[in-house]
Structure formats: C-alpha cells, structure tokens
Amino acid sequence: MWKAGFKWMYLILGTVIGAGYASGRELWQFFGFESGLAIILFTFFFIICCYVIMKISYEEKSEHFSPVLERLVGAKLSYVYDLLIVMYLFTTTVVMIAGGGATLQGLTVPYWIGILIFCFLLVLLFFWDVKGILSLNSVLIPILLLGLGYVLFHFHTEHVHIWTFNWKEQYNWPAAFTFTSLNILSIVAVLSAIGKEIKDLNEAKIASVGSGLILGAVSYLYNETLTQFADKISGFEIPLFAILDESPFIMFLAMSIVLWMAIYTTAAAGVFGLATRFKNYFKIPLWQMASVLIILMVPFTKFGFATLVSILYPLYALINLYLVVTILLFPITNRYKWD
C-alpha cells in the first residue's frame, strides 16, 4: 500500500513540477507578494482534487481520461473538456520541450540541438511503456526535490530573511483557485490513465496527501525566496537562475541538471496522457504514438519558453476554473454515492 502510494505520489509530482514550476516562472506568475494564504489554500485544493480524480479512476478502472471527465462534468460537456485536455497537454508539452532546449542552452548547447536531444530521450522512455515513466519518476523526483530544497535552504542560511505572515495582507488569495486550475488538466489526464493499476483507495490517500503537502511546502519556500529577487527576476528568462546568479558554477550546473530533469518528467507525463488517449484509435505501440506526437510538437517550440508560459498558463488557468470547482464539490454533489 505505502509503496504503491509513493509510486503514484511521484507520478503526480513529476506531472506538476515541470518547466514552469521548477524554474520559478509559474510560481512568480501566479503568486509573489502577499500569497502565503493562497499557497495554503492551494495545498488543500490540490489534495482534494487528486483524491477525487483517483477515486473516480479507481471506480471506473479507466485507462484514459474520457470516462473520468464524463463522471465529473457529464457526457455532453466531457467532449468539450476532452478536446481541451488534448490541446492543453499538447501545448504545455511544447512548453516543456522548449524549456528543455532553453536549459541546455544555458550550458552552451545550441537551442535546437538541445531540443533534439530532449525529444530523443522522451521517445526512448516509452519503449518501456507505463513502467518506464513510473520508474523514471521514482528515481528522478526525490533527486529533484532534494536539489531544489538544498538551493532554497542554502539561500536562506546565507541571507538574513525575516519570515512574516500577516493575515491582513493576503490579498492574492484568489490565486489559489487559478493555480490549482492551471495544473488540473494534466492531473486528470495522467491519473485517469492509471485507474486499472490502483489496487486500493488507501494508495490514493497516501499519494494525494503526500503530493499536496510536498507541493505546498516547496511552493511556499520557493515563493518566499523569489520575493527577495523581485527587482532582478525580469532580467532572467528562468527565475531560478536569479537565485543562482552569485553561486559557484558547480551549483549552477547541478541545478541546471535538476531543472532539466523536472522538465523531462513533466514532458513525459504530457506525452503519456496524450499517447494513452490515442493509441487505441491507431492500434500502435505506445512508443510509436509518442514519437508521432513529439514530431508534431517540435515546430511550435520556436516561440520560446518564457513567451509560451506567460501566454498559455494564465489562459488555461481561467478556462479550467469550472472543472476545479466541479471536482471540489463532487463529494458534496454526489454525497449519496460517495462512500
């Protein structure tokens, strides 16, 4: 039970902690100053949403997101969100691929060469089907969290910062809804694909609570750190590099690798969600479906990482608000069916 719960927890974290999150761009876009309450609310919303989605997936024994969407929003509206999830996963995976190229560019690798390397490794992962992505997350996510945690704690031990939390100055609390809605489509897509693999609802509880608490704690610490660099962030495409600006090169190199891993795990989750949705239509192996999707994505990476994040993320966050509210209210609206 615990082993399986942690396996799903790493899958959830690998889905969320991608190019936008690990680089700090996504957090700065939605949070920033006066956002402590927003991050606390996000933590609770995220836990509830993950558990509701996993419970429905478990009950439906789903292999992709269509049956789960139908339970959540009804048959007619599920077609709309089906299309929306496909568009979301496609465009946000483009963001991940662009982020992978931008990260390697920081290590003097040409942008397009970095993208080709990134895409090759993505295709390679799917030769091992679902086991490949689960094994990848079980190894990379702990390394990623330790690396990110070390940099953030190291900064706060080297710099004097007074931690304050004023309940009267939490005007950005509505960001909890938009930040949850930003991540909800990828969570629905990925968790719906593992419904047949979940053996017990206790696995869902462990994964939901564990991933929510970890994301909440890291988000709070990361956001507090970024507020110390508010004047400098505009000069960096990747805000994390503002924190590392005066660090030794070895730390910059290590965090570039960690960032690249974060981007890779989320890109893999996005391709996984799309490939599981379409592979039955085309009757081809998962790695071939993944290859076709990645080839279609590459031309769109020319728009650049920061541009894609600044335009697409707020847009999807607003569109998904209805789905978030539906998931949060699902245990209440279905109270007679909810065990």
Q: What is the pLDDT of residue 309?
A: 61
CB 204 within 8 A of CB 54: yes
**pLDDT classification of 85: cutoffs 50, 70, 90:** confident
Average pLDDT for 286-294 = 90
Q: What is the DSSP letter of 230?
A: T
For the stretch 168-189, what's the b/e string if a residue is b when 16 or more beta carbons lie within 10 angstroms of its beta carbon?
A: eeeebbebbbbbbbbbbbbbbb
Nearest to residue 161, comparing CAs of 243, 240, 237? 243
Class at the top of the CATH hierarchy for domain 2-157+171-332: mainly alpha
- Mean pLDDT is highest, among 151-160, 242-251, 252-261, 263-272, for 263-272
pLDDT at 137 over 70: yes
Nearest to residue 154, comparing CAs of 84, 254, 80? 254
Domain boundaries, the chain: 2-157+171-332
Q: What is the pLDDT of residue 164?
A: 64
Q: What is the pLDDT of residue 259?
A: 78
Average pLDDT for 68-87 = 85
Q: Indicate the residue type of 130.
A: V
Positive or negative, the CA dihedral 159, 160, 165, 166 is negative
Under DSSP, is residue 112 helix (H, G, I), strand (E, B) or coil?
Answer: helix
Token digits of residue 75: 């048959």
- CA-based R_g, the chain, Å: 19
Positive or negative, the CA dihedral 193, 197, 200, 203 is negative
**pLDDT classification of 56: cutoffs 50, 70, 90:** very high
Ramachandran region, residue 24 (left: φ > 0; alpha: ψ -120 to 50; beta: rest) = left
pLDDT at 339 over 70: no
The 10s digit of each residue's pLDDT in 305-314 is 566 666 766 7
DSSP result, 196-240: TT---HHHHHHHHHHHHHHHHHHHHHHHHHHHTTTTTGGG-SSTH
The 10s digit of each residue's pLDDT in 209-249 is 999 999 999 999 898 888 887 777 777 767 887 787 777 77
Q: Indicate the residue type of 255.
A: M
